[in-house]
Amino acid sequence: MIRLLIADDEALMRAGISMIVEHAPDIEVVAEVADGRAAVAGCREHRVDVALLDIRMPGGDGLTAAADIARHHPATNVVVLTTFGEDRYVAEALRAGAVGFLLKDTGPADLIQAIRVAARGESVLAPTIVRRLVDRYLAPDTAEIAGKRLEGLTDTERDVLRAVATGASNAEIAAALFMAAGTVKAHISRILTKLDCANRVQAAILAHEAGLR
């Protein structure tokens, strides 16, 4: 079972997510909280696999909670919940170690699938939004700097990173590149080490920064 924590200051949002995921046989909501501090405590108390965190909450915001969870509870994969108007906050959450983000209007089936993907430690991100983050908030010389960081990758690793940047899962990358899923996982591990990225979301952003196509 995937153990899920929901953190949102709106009770209706928490209830809505719970109602959606209760139909998934492999997901269990183990905690519902209203602020970031309670989210960190909940991860400690309930051995959470995936934490869905709203960004702006009174009594402890999601960004601080994401960083604290990544630092103290690395087995918990954090996904932030956001609206289209909060790109800057999403970028900060990803840098804090979140594995991705979901828009608050995500459909029920997509929400359940995203929780499953996040539980595997894979990225939950929309490539179009990542591209917008890169375009809006990164300095003009970032592409050159990012490109230099990619120079140590092999051709195969660049192919895998290119697929990661599209939001593809390990299974999808394996099928597209004619590899075993274990081989893809090994490549991604080496890529993260070479690029000094905490997770595949940060690697995907770096690929977009470098203009990898």
Verify that 107 and 10 share a domain, yes or no.
Answer: yes
Verify that 158 and 60 share a domain, yes or no.
Answer: no
Verify that 23 and 50 share a domain, yes or no.
Answer: yes
CA atoms of 206 and 213, how far apart (whole Å): 12
Q: Give one word for 2, left, alpha or beta, with left for phi > 0 and alpha for psi -120 to 50.
A: beta
- Provide the whole-model pTM: 0.71
- Whether residue 80 contacts residue 51, with contact meaning beta carbons closer than 8 Å, is answered with no
For 191, what's the count of Cα atoms within 13 Å in the CB-facing half-sphere?
27
For the chain, 213 residues long, give each residue's pLDDT as a single digit of tens: 999 999 999 999 999 999 999 889 999 999 999 999 999 999 999 999 999 999 888 878 888 899 999 889 989 999 988 775 566 676 777 777 888 888 888 889 889 988 998 998 887 775 556 666 666 655 555 778 888 999 999 999 999 999 988 878 888 899 999 999 999 999 999 999 999 887 787 888 888 888 887
Domains in the chain, number:
2
pLDDT at residue number 13: 92
pLDDT at residue number 92: 77
Verify that 55 and 157 share a domain, yes or no.
Answer: no
Q: Which domain holds residue 153?
A: 139-210
Verify that 179 and 84 share a domain, yes or no.
Answer: no
Domain membership of residue 168 (yes or no) is: yes
Question: What CATH number does residue 68 fall under?
Answer: 3.40.50.2300
Q: What order of strands is seen across the sheet that includes strand 100-103?
A: 27-33, 2-7, 50-54, 77-82, 100-103
Q: Where are the beta strands (DSSP E) in 15-154?
A: 27-33, 50-54, 77-82, 100-103
